[in-house]
Structure 1
Amino acid sequence: MSDPHLRRRLLGTSMFAGAAIVAATALMASPVSAQDAQVEDDSQVDDIVVTGSRITRQDYQATSPIVTVNQEDFQATGSVTIDTLVNDLPQFVPSVNSTSNNPSNGGQANINLRGLGTPRTLVLMNGRRVVPSNSDGTVDINLLPTPLIQNIEVISGGASAAYGSDALAGVANFILNENFEGVQFDSQYGVTDRSDGVTESYALTLGGEIAEGRGHLVLSLGHSSRDQVFNRDREFSAISGPSGTSPLGSTTFDSNNLPNLTLVRTYFNDATLTNTGQFGFNNNGSLFSYVRTRNFQSPGGIDYDGFANPGVSDYVYNTGPLNLNQLGLDRWNAYVGGRYEINRGAEVYANLLFTEYNSANELAASPAAGNVPATGFRVPVTNPFITADLRTLLNSRANPNGSFLLNKRFNALGGRRASENYNVYQSTVGVRGELVGLRDWTYDVYAQYGRVLRTTLQSGNVSRSAVQRLLDAPDGGNSLCAGGFDWYGETELSAACVNFIGRTAQNLTEQEQSVVEGSLQGSLFELPAGDLRFAGGIQYREDVFEFRPDASLAQINPIVVRADGGSTGGSEIAGFNPGQRLVGDTNSVEYFLELLVPVLSDLPFVQQLDLNLGYRISDYSTVGKVSAYKADLDWQVVDFLRIRGGVQRAVRAPSVGELFAPINTSFPSVGAASATGISGDPCDTRSSFRLGANAAQVRALCLTQGISASAIDAYVFTNNQVPGITGGNPDLTEETSDSFNAGLVIQSPFDNPWLAGLSASIDYYNIEIQDVIGTIGASAQLQGCFNARGENPTYDPNNGYCQLFVRDALSGNISQAREVNGNLATLKTSGIDAQFDWNFGLADIGAPDWGDLNFNLVLGWLENRERQDAPGGPFTNRTGTIDSVFGNTFPEWKSLSSVNWAYGAFGLGARWRHVGELTQFGTAIELGSADYFDLNGSWDLTDTVSLRFTVNNVTDEQPIVYSPGVQANTDPSTYDTLGRRYSVGLTARF
C-alpha cells in the first residue's frame, strides 16, 4: 500500500474506500459504473460512486467493508499476473492459479473471496460484469488488461441487490484508467534464485483528448510471459504424487480368485505377508509385493525409488518430477476505450477488450489402473509375455484360466500435456448524460457482449480398446504393430505401437455473455438532513455455454463380460478425464432500485446519519423469480469516527454447467489411509476406522458393501484416488445468502505530527449461505458413511452417504463415487477485517528531512468457517485447517503488511506476508505459520523515466509440506513454492 498522500486524504471518509472513490467531471456522469472516471482535478469533483452502490453523491462513502489496492501494490509483487496480489490479501483464500497443475483449470487465475467458492465471487471491470470462462460462471482474471488496472476494490458480503447473481461472498471490481493521457512504456523482467521461472512483461499505453476536449481515447497493448517450472526442480517436490500405478506394471488379482497364500509367502520369504493379490513386475521377470515392497528390483531413478522403503512401506510410484510447479504463460492484451460528448444530454462511449494467451499443464504419463472396466485392462492367460514366476501364481488360483487385471502407466508415450489457447474479446457500447431540465438526474444505457473461445490440445492419451486388442492377440500384438505390447516391467514401444495406442485430443469451449442495461439516478427531493437520492434500472443478461469434446474423449465402449469372468469396456481414453458435450444457456430480466435516505445531520454526535436501501427482483429462465435486498447504515459520529454496517440478502442462480453438465468420469482424491487420520478408504486394514473402537461395525459394513470375506482382513487400498462421476442437475434451485457487517472507521483527531497520519478501520462480517450448490466429495462420502463425525452412528449401509459410492464386486475397491450437483445444506463464515495506516514526514517529527514513512497493515481473523453437507447433518468446522483440495485452506490469522520510505527520486519498501498456523484437516498434525518477506525499490532517473526492483521471499523460505498435500507435498496456492526471486522494471512516460 504505497501511496500515503492519497491514503491520508481519503481515509478520513472511509479507510477501505481509499482510492476507490472517483469523480466524474462536470460534463459527464456514469451512475451505474463504479469508478468509471478518475479524479483529474480536485476543483472539478462533482458526484462520486463507490463499489457496491448505484448511487452517486458528493462525498459518498462505502457502507460495506472495502479494501483497495493499486498498480504500485501490484508492481511490488514482481508478478506478471494480478491474482498474485489479490491472493496475498487476507480476504481471499487462494484457489486455482499459476501453480495449479493437478488439479488445474487450464492456466486460469480464479479468485475465491472468503473461501466461499470462486463462482460466488463476482468479478467486475469498471463496475460491469466480465465474460465468464467456465460453465459455473467463474471469471478468469487473466483476461483483464493488467497494464491499465488502476485500482482493485474488494467488498465483502452479499452485493446482489446492486449487481445481481453471483455476489454472495462479495465483489472484486477492477478499475481501469480510461482517463490516461500521454505515452507510457513499461517493461519488467524477473527470475528465481534457481535461474528458472523467468517472467517478462512489456506494455505500451497511449491516451489523450480528441475533438478539442469533447472526447477522450485510450489504447493499451501488453505482452507478458512466464516460464514453466517442474516439481523436479525443487527439493521439496521432487518426490511427490505417490501413485499405485507404475510404469513397471502390476496386477491386483480378483478377490474371489486369489493365488495360494502359502505359495505367496514362500515366494517372498515372508511368513506374515497378507494375501492382497497386489503384485508388481520387475524387469528381470520376477514379481514384487506391493505390501511392504518385498523383492522390489529398482530400475533406478527417483521416479521408482523416491518412496521405496523395502520391507517396511507399501510400494508407490513417484509421479511428481514430471508435474509442473509453475505453469507457463504467454499472453497478449489489448484494450481501447473512448468517449465523445455530443451535448450535455448525450455522451457516447465504447470500449473493446481483447486477450489471447497460451498455457499448459503437464502430468505424469497416462495411468490405467483399478479393478473396474472403466480403468484397468484384462490380460488373458494365453498372453505370451506372462513370465514363469507370474504363471506359477496364476496356476495356483481356484480358476487358473481366469484373466487378471493389468495396471500400467504408459511412459512410452511421454507425459500427459494439455496445451490451452484462450481467445477472448468483450465490447461495450453506450450512451449516458444528464436528463436536461431535471435536477441532477442522469441516465446510462449500454449493451455489452463478450466471448471466450478455449481450445485444449491433449497429448499422451491412450486408447483402451487398442491396448486391449494388443493384450488379447495370441502373438502379444506383434501382428498389429511392430514388436507388440510387452507389458511386463518397463515397456519400450515401437513407433508403430505408440501410434497404434496413442491418441491426441482437441476440445473446444465457447462461452458468450450478453448484457443490456438501462438506468437512471438523481435526487427525488430534499429532506432536512439532505437529498433523498434514487437509482434504478432494468437489465437483461444471457449466458450461453458450449463444450465440444474430442470424439475420442466422449466415446464410451460397451462393457463386455468375458468368458473368463472379467469384463472390458467403458471409457475409451486413459489419460485425461473423458468428457461429454455440454450445451446450455440461461437468461434473466432484472429490475433494481436503490435509495439513499439522509436520516439526521448536524446534531451532537450525529454529523450525518444515512440509510442506504436496495432491492432487486430477477426473473430467470431456469429458477424463476428471485429477489435480493440490502439495508446499510452510515453514521458519521464526529470528524474522526464513522460507524457503518448493514444486512444483505444475496442470491445466486445455478449456472449452465451446474444445471446441464452431462455425466463425466473423474478421479477424485481420497488420500491415504493412516492409523491417526480419517483420509483414505475406511475399509483399509491400516486405517483408523479399522483400528478404532468401532472396528467390528466398520468391518461388517465393508463386508455388506462387497468386500469378500476372504479379503476383508487383508484389504489395503494403495492408491489415493478413486474412480468417480460428475454431472449437473436440472432440478437445482438458487442459493441464498444472508450477511451482516458492522465496523468503525477512525482517523486521527490529533494535530501532533507523530499521530496526525494515523488511521484505522475494523469490520466484523458474518455470511451464511443456504441451499449451497455443490457436491459431496468422495472423501466426505467415505467419512460420512463410516461415521467419522456422527453422520452414520448405526453404520447403516442404506445411509445417504453410503449410497453415493459403490464398490467393485471382484476387488472390493471403490468403483464409482458419484459427485453430482445438488442443493446441499449450509455454508457459514465470519470474522474480522482490520486495516491500520500510519504515515508521517521525518522532518515533521523533528528528524532530518530524509523523506516520508508509511506503514500499512491489513489483517484478517477468521472466527468461524463451517459447512453442512446435508440438512440436519452435522456442521464440519474448518477454521484453522488445511486440506488436500485447492481453496480449502482457512488460517485463523492472515495478514499483509508493508513499510515504505520515499525521499525525492528514491523509494524503498518492505512487505511481510503472514499465513497463520494450521491443522491438517482430519488429523492432529499441526503446521506452523509461514512468513515471507519481500523488498522493493524505485529510482526516478528523470522526470519521465523510472526504475524499480523487487526481491520476493528474501529469506528463501520453503513451503510447509504435509501429506497428502494438494500437490507437490504442499498447498502451492497458499505457500510460496518458487523460493527467492528477483525482478527489475522500467517505466518511461511522456
Structure 2
Amino acid sequence: MNVTELRSRLLGSTMIAGLTVAAASLALASAAQAQSAPQDEASRIDDVVVTGSRIARQDYAATVPIVTVDEQDFQATGSVTIDTLTNDLPQFVPAVSSTSNNPSNGGQANLDLRGLGTNRTLVLMNGRRIIPSNANGTVDVNLIPSALIRSVEVISGGASATYGSDALAGVANFILNTNFEGIRFDAQYGVTDRDDGVTQSYSVSMGGDIADGRGHALFSISRSLREKMFNSSREFSSISGRSGASPLGNTVFDASNLPSQAAVDGYFGGTGLSRTQSFGFNDDGSLFAYEGVRNYKSPGGIDFDGFAVPGTDYGYNTGALNYLQLPLERWNTFAAVSYELTDNIEAYGELLMTDYQSGNELAASPAAGSTGFRVPVTNPFITPDLAALLATRPNPLNSFRLDKRFTDVGGRNSMNDYGVYQGTFGFRGDIPGVRDWTYDIYAQYGRQEVITTQSGNVSRSAVQRLLDAPDGGRSLCAGGFDFLGLSRLSPECVRYIGRSAVNTTVQEQTVVEASMQGGLFTLPAGEVRFAYGLQYREDTFAFRPDASLAQTNPIVTRPDGGTTGGSEIAGFNPSQALVGATNSTEAFLELLVPVVSDLPFIQQLDLNLGYRAANFDTVGLTSSYKAEIDWLVVDGLRIRSGVQRAVRAPSIGELYAPAGTTFGAIGSPTATGLGGDPCDRRSSYRTGPNAAQVTALCTAQAAAAGAPGYSYTNAQVSGIASGNPDLTEETADSFTIGAVLSSQAQSPWFSGMSASLDYYSIEIADVIAPIASADQIQSCFNANGQNPTYDPNNEFCRLFSRDPLSGNIFNATERNDNLTSLKTSGIDMQVDWRVVMEDVGLPAWGNLSLNVIVGWLESRERQSIEGGTFVERVGTIDVNSAGQTQTFPEWKSLTSLNWSNGDFGAGFRWRFVDEMTVFNSNVVLDATSYFDMNANWNITESVSLRGTVNNITDEQPQTWVPGVQANTDPSTYDILGRRFSIGLTAKF
C-alpha cells in the first residue's frame, strides 16, 4: 500500500469515526429528555418509512419526486416479468428485457432510470439491496418474487446519502407483502392473436401468525414460463440483421495483390466494378459481386434473398434466425419469518431463492476480416472461375482471404441457468427508555451462480488446418472443407470444427448493517428526528470461461504475407477469466428538523438533511449528502425541493475486466451521414469538402484504405475492450423542486383529485466509459473538430489499427476511463382522480378512477469523449457504447382509467411514446400509442377472474434500417402485437 492509499484509508476511517461520535453526541443530548417526553405507544403504530429516507414518521410525505405502482398495475399488463410495467413509466428508459436478443444480457431484466445506465439505478427489495447480477453491479429484477409485490416506489435523483453507492439516477424499491395472511393461489395464461408467444405463471402463497401471535411466517413459490419466438414470425422483423458474412463465403482481395481490372470487368461483363470490393461464391463455383449484386445465383430462402436486391450491396439476412422473444422458465421461492423474543427484541429472517433459464439465439458463426482465414492457391476446391482471377494478381501464388458463415454447425445458442439465493437475518425492536427509538441490525448474504452453455462456435485453427491441407482436409474429416458456396460439411467435419463451451459465473454479496432511528428532542415547530447507521458491504465476482473461449493462438505471418492466429474461437466473443472483489465501510446520518410551523402560508416547514461517508478499498473515501425541504403551504398544497450529491464507486468489471474481443457498431457509409468507415469511397468523408485530407489520412493508416476503390461493407469493426484499475468514482449532483396538490374541494367531482408536478436536473461527472469504436473513428476523421489537421498520430487515430492488406479497421481499443459527463433534466407530472358516479349525478354504476403519469424531457446531453462538446439527445433514439438502445422521447406517458362496481371492474390503459429521430440520420419515427384493456370479476369472496387485451389495435412497432434489433427497438416498441391473458386468483 502506497502513502496515498494509506492516507485515504486513514482519512476514511477518521470520517466514519467522526460521524459515529456525532451521532452518539446527539443520542446523549436527547437522553436527558427521554424520561420526561414519553411517547404514546399507539402513535408509533402508523409510523412509516417512504423510499428515499431512513426516518419513520407519521403521515410521512416524500420530499423527492416519487411514483408508486401496485399489484393491480402489474396484473393489468398480463406479463410474467416485472420490467414490462416499469419500462412503460416515463421515468424509465427501456433497457435489456425479455425481447433483447442482441444485445442480450442473458435473459435478465434490468431497469434504467432516466437513461443514465442500469448500473446507476439502485434496485432495492424492502429497502435492502439485492445481489447484483453481473460484474457491473446491475440488478436483475427477475429475481424478485412478483407474486408478493405490494408496490414499487420509484424516486428520481441521487440517493447515495441514504442507500450508498450506485443510486446516481435514483432508486426503485420493490416492497413485498411480508405480512400476508391466509392462502392464495394464482394462475395466468397469455397468448398473442397469432397463437404464439405463450406465457404462463402459477403461484402459491401462505402466511399467518405463529406462536400464539408472537410471530409471523410466510412462504411463497411461483413458476413462470415464456415461449421463445423468432424474428421470422413477424413481417417487420423477418428481414433484418444485414451482414456481409454469408454461408456462401466471400473474399476481399488483398489491396497490394489485386486481380487485374480487365479480368474483373471481363468476368462480370461490364465496367465500374471495384477490384477491392467483396466477391462472393455462388453454389456452382462461379463468383458474384457484392456491389450491385451482380451475377448472384441465390440458393433460395429468406436468409439468402432478404437483402439480395439489384442495385444495392449484397447482404445475408441473419435476423430471421434470431429470437424475437427470449424463452424463460423461472422458479421463485420466498420465505419470511419473524418472532418476538422479548417486548423489545424481534428476530426476523428472509430467504429468497430463484432458479431460471433463459438465453439468446444468433445466426450461425461468422468469421470475417480479422477473424477470417487464408486459403492457399493449392487448395483443391478452388474452381476454374476463381483460379482465373487469382492468376491475374501480381503475386499469383499468394494466399487469399476467406470470410465464411458456418451454417452447417448450427446457430449460435447461449442458454443461461441462474441459481440465486439471498438470506437475511436480523434483530429489530424498540430501545427501552429512550423516547420512541428503534433499532435494526441485520446480516445479509447472497450468491448467484450462472452456468452458460454455448453451442455453434467454430475453431478457427481447425478450419485453417482444413484449408491448408493439400487434399482440402479430406484426410482430416470425411469430405474435407469445400469452402465455395454452401459447404454441406459431413457430420465428421462438423464435429472437427465445431465447439461448445460452458462458462461459469459466481457472484457474492455480503452486507452487515446496524441502524437506529427515532426522535431526539422537540422544537417549537415539532420534533427533531434522526436515523443513523453503519454498514459493511463486500462484493466478489468470478467469471471462468470455457478453455476454448479463453484460448488464443500466436499470430503468425505466412510466407505469402498473410497472417493467421489470434482468438481460437469464431462465434461468441472470446473471453478471459475475471476475478475481483470490492468492499466498503460506511456510516450515514439523517436528520429531520422542523423549522417553522403555524404561520401564514407556512403550516409546516421541515428540513431533511443526510450525509454518508464511505471508505472503499478501491477509491478510498467518498462523501455524499442531501438537503431537502418539505413545505406545507396550506391544506392541500405542499412544496418539496432538494439537492443531492451521489457517488458511484467503479464496479468489479469496470476495474478489472481483462482485454476481450468486441465488435463495435459503426453503421454504414452514406453520402450525408457520419456512419461507416470514413475511408469507404462512398462515405460523406471521402466525397465532402475535406476529401483530399481524408484520403491522405486513410493512406497514412494503410495504403489499401486510401485506394480510390476502397469499400467496407460491414457495419461493425473488431476491437479490444478492457477494464482499468485506476478508475475513480463517479459523482452526480441533482436538484429537484415540485409541488403536491390534494384537493380540498367539497364538490364530489373534485374532492378525490390530487396531483404532483416536479422538475429534476441530474449531472454526472467522471462518467466511467470507454471511447466507443464509432466515436474513435469519427473523431480521428475530425467529425466534430477533434483532428483539424487530419494528423495520423492524433490521440483518437492511435486507438485503432488497419490491416495493411485490406485496409479494414481492427483492434479498436475500448478501455474504461473517467471520460465524460451526462446531463438530464425534465418534468414529471402525475394526476389522480377518483369519483363516485352516483355522487355526481350519474347512474349508480360504481366508481371511476383516473391515473395519468407524464414525463417531459427538457434536456439530455451526452459528452462522448473527454473535452468534447455536449450533444443534445432529446427526441432521438441511439445506441450506446455497450450496444444498448437509449430512447429519449420528449414526451412519454402512461394513462389508466378504471371502473369498479361491486364484484366487477374494468380498466383502459394508454401508453404513449413521442416521435423520435434516429440519431445522426434523417429518419423520423412517428409518435406511437398503444391501447390496452383489462377486466376483473370477483366470482365469490374467495375466487376472482381477470383478463387483459394488450395492444388492442395491433399497432406495429416503428421500424428503420438497420434498427437496433429486428429493424426496431424491441424494448421500447411493442413487437408482439395484439395479445390476450386470463388469470384466476383464489384466496382462503
CA–CA distance in structure 1, aligned partners of residues 394 and 871 of structure 2:
47
- Show the counterpart of 2:112: 112
- Show the counterpart of 2:15: none
- Show the counterpart of 2:183: 183
- Show the counterpart of 1:91: 91
Aligned residues of 2:67 and 2:155 also touching (Cα < 8 A): yes
Matches within 5 A, 1:413-428: 413-428=409-424
Q: 1:815 aligns with which of 797, 810, 814?
A: 810
* CA deviation after TM superposition for structure 1 residue 415, in Å: 0.5
Q: 2:581 aligns with which of 576, 579, 585?
A: 585
CA–CA distance in structure 1, aligned partners of residues 899 and 535 of structure 2:
47
Q: 2:895 aligns with which of 876, 894, 897?
A: 897
- Show the counterpart of 1:952: 950
Aligned residues of 1:112 and 1:887 also touching (Cα < 8 A): no
Matches within 5 A, 1:130-169: 130-169=130-169
CA–CA distance in structure 1, aligned partners of residues 834 and 277 of structure 2:
69
* CA deviation after TM superposition for structure 1 residue 42, in Å: 11
Which stretch shows the higher mean deviation, 818-827 or 502-511? 818-827
Whichever residue aligns with residue 661 of structure 2, its letter is: T
2:460 corresponds to 1:464: yes
- Show the counterpart of 1:916: 914
* CA deviation after TM superposition for structure 1 residue 43, in Å: 9.0
* CA deviation after TM superposition for structure 1 residue 749, in Å: 1.9
2:765 corresponds to 1:770: yes
Aligned residues of 1:512 and 1:544 also touching (Cα < 8 A): yes
Q: 1:496 aligns with which of 492, 508, 527?
A: 492
- Show the counterpart of 1:573: 569
2:791 corresponds to 1:796: yes
Q: 1:833-881, CA deviations, whole angstroms, 9 ceiling, x for partnerless residues?
A: 0001111011010111001111111000111111113332111211110
2:551 corresponds to 1:555: yes
CA–CA distance in structure 1, aligned partners of residues 802 and 420 of structure 2:
43
- Show the counterpart of 1:195: 195
Whichever residue aligns with residue 878 of structure 2, its letter is: D
Which stretch shows the higher mean deviation, 871-880 or 187-196? 871-880
Query: Secondary structure at the residue paired with 1:954?
Result: coil
2:701 corresponds to 1:702: no
CA–CA distance in structure 1, aligned partners of residues 812 and 873 of structure 2:
23
Q: 1:365-407, CA deviations, whole angstroms, 9 ceiling, x for partnerless residues?
A: 000001x3xx010000100000000001101001101111110
* CA deviation after TM superposition for structure 1 residue 689, in Å: 1.8
2:52 corresponds to 1:57: no
2:527 corresponds to 1:531: yes
CA–CA distance in structure 2, aligned partners of residues 415 and 638 of structure 1:
65
Matches within 5 A, 1:182-581: 182-310=182-310, 312-370=311-369, 372=370, 375-581=371-577
Aligned residues of 1:332 and 1:355 also touching (Cα < 8 A): yes
Whichever residue aligns with residue 720 of structure 2, its letter is: I
* CA deviation after TM superposition for structure 1 residue 776, in Å: 1.6
* CA deviation after TM superposition for structure 1 residue 927, in Å: 1.2
- Show the counterpart of 2:748: 753
Aligned residues of 2:277 and 2:291 also touching (Cα < 8 A): no
Aligned residues of 1:425 and 1:451 also touching (Cα < 8 A): yes
CA–CA distance in structure 2, aligned partners of residues 913 and 237 of structure 1:
22
Q: 1:104-160, CA deviations, whole angstroms, 9 ceiling, x for partnerless residues?
A: 110000110000000000010000000001000001111111101110110000000
CA–CA distance in structure 1, aligned partners of residues 278 and 675 of structure 2:
21
Matches within 5 A, 1:568-717: 568-708=564-704, 712-717=707-712
Query: Secondary structure at the residue paired with 2:266?
Result: helix
Query: Secondary structure at the residue paired with 2:697?
Result: helix
2:67 corresponds to 1:72: no
* CA deviation after TM superposition for structure 1 residue 699, in Å: 1.7
Whichever residue aligns with residue 960 of structure 1, its letter is: Q
CA–CA distance in structure 2, aligned partners of residues 219 and 95 of structure 1:
31
Q: 1:738 aligns with which of 721, 733, 742?
A: 733
Query: Secondary structure at the residue paired with 1:412?
Result: helix
Query: Secondary structure at the residue paired with 2:728?
Result: coil
* CA deviation after TM superposition for structure 1 residue 789, in Å: 2.5
| TM norm structure 2 | 0.95
- Show the counterpart of 2:847: 852
Q: 1:643-663, CA deviations, whole angstroms, 9 ceiling, x for partnerless residues?
A: 001000000000111000000
Q: 1:653-693, CA deviations, whole angstroms, 9 ceiling, x for partnerless residues?
A: 00111000000011121111112221111111222222222
- Show the counterpart of 1:965: 963
Aligned residues of 1:919 and 1:925 also touching (Cα < 8 A): yes
Q: Structure 1 residues 940 and 43, CA, compared in 2 at 3 Å: closer, same or farther? A: farther
Q: 1:254-285, CA deviations, whole angstroms, 9 ceiling, x for partnerless residues?
A: 11111001110111112111221421000111
2:124 corresponds to 1:124: yes
- Show the counterpart of 1:34: none
Query: Secondary structure at the residue paired with 2:104?
Result: coil
Query: Secondary structure at the residue paired with 2:471?
Result: coil
Aligned residues of 2:247 and 2:404 also touching (Cα < 8 A): yes
Q: Structure 1 residues 390 and 42, CA, compared in 2 at 3 Å: closer, same or farther? A: farther
Aligned residues of 2:727 and 2:817 also touching (Cα < 8 A): yes
Q: Structure 2 stretches of 5 or more lacking a match? A: 1-40
CA–CA distance in structure 2, aligned partners of residues 190 and 380 of structure 1:
56
CA–CA distance in structure 1, aligned partners of residues 978 and 218 of structure 2:
37
CA–CA distance in structure 1, aligned partners of residues 347 and 925 of structure 2:
56
Aligned residues of 1:117 and 1:887 also touching (Cα < 8 A): no
* CA deviation after TM superposition for structure 1 residue 44, in Å: 7.8
Q: Structure 1 residues 429 and 713, CA, compared in 2 at 3 Å: closer, same or farther? A: same
Whichever residue aligns with residue 842 of structure 1, its letter is: M
Aligned sequence identity (%): 65
Whichever residue aligns with residue 347 of structure 2, its letter is: V
CA–CA distance in structure 2, aligned partners of residues 543 and 91 of structure 1:
28
Q: Structure 1 residues 389 and 917, CA, compared in 2 at 3 Å: closer, same or farther? A: same
CA–CA distance in structure 2, aligned partners of residues 344 and 194 of structure 1:
60
Q: 1:882-920, CA deviations, whole angstroms, 9 ceiling, x for partnerless residues?
A: 124424111111100011111111111110111101011
Matches within 5 A, 1:834-845: 834-845=829-840
Query: Secondary structure at the residue paired with 2:95?
Result: coil
Q: 1:32-88, CA deviations, whole angstroms, 9 ceiling, x for partnerless residues?
A: xxxxxxxxx999843111101111111111001000001110000010000100100
* CA deviation after TM superposition for structure 1 residue 606, in Å: 0.7
Q: 1:928 aligns with which of 907, 926, 929?
A: 926
Q: Structure 1 residues 188 and 42, CA, compared in 2 at 3 Å: closer, same or farther? A: farther
Whichever residue aligns with residue 805 of structure 1, its letter is: F
Q: 2:939 aligns with which of 941, 944, 950?
A: 941
Whichever residue aligns with residue 755 of structure 1, its letter is: F
* CA deviation after TM superposition for structure 1 residue 825, in Å: 2.0
Whichever residue aligns with residue 645 of structure 1, its letter is: S
Aligned residues of 1:841 and 1:853 also touching (Cα < 8 A): yes
- Show the counterpart of 1:13: none
CA–CA distance in structure 1, aligned partners of residues 568 and 780 of structure 2:
31
* CA deviation after TM superposition for structure 1 residue 694, in Å: 2.0
Q: 1:781-823, CA deviations, whole angstroms, 9 ceiling, x for partnerless residues?
A: 2222222223333323233322221111111111121111111
Query: Secondary structure at the residue paired with 1:825?
Result: strand
Aligned residues of 1:548 and 1:581 also touching (Cα < 8 A): yes
Which stretch shows the higher mean deviation, 681-690 or 441-450? 681-690
CA–CA distance in structure 1, aligned partners of residues 594 and 767 of structure 2:
36
Aligned residues of 1:259 and 1:277 also touching (Cα < 8 A): no
CA-based RMSD of the aligned residues comes to 1.2
CA–CA distance in structure 1, aligned partners of residues 746 and 779 of structure 2:
61
CA–CA distance in structure 2, aligned partners of residues 964 and 797 of structure 1:
30
Query: Secondary structure at the residue paired with 1:824?
Result: strand
CA–CA distance in structure 2, aligned partners of residues 955 and 237 of structure 1:
19
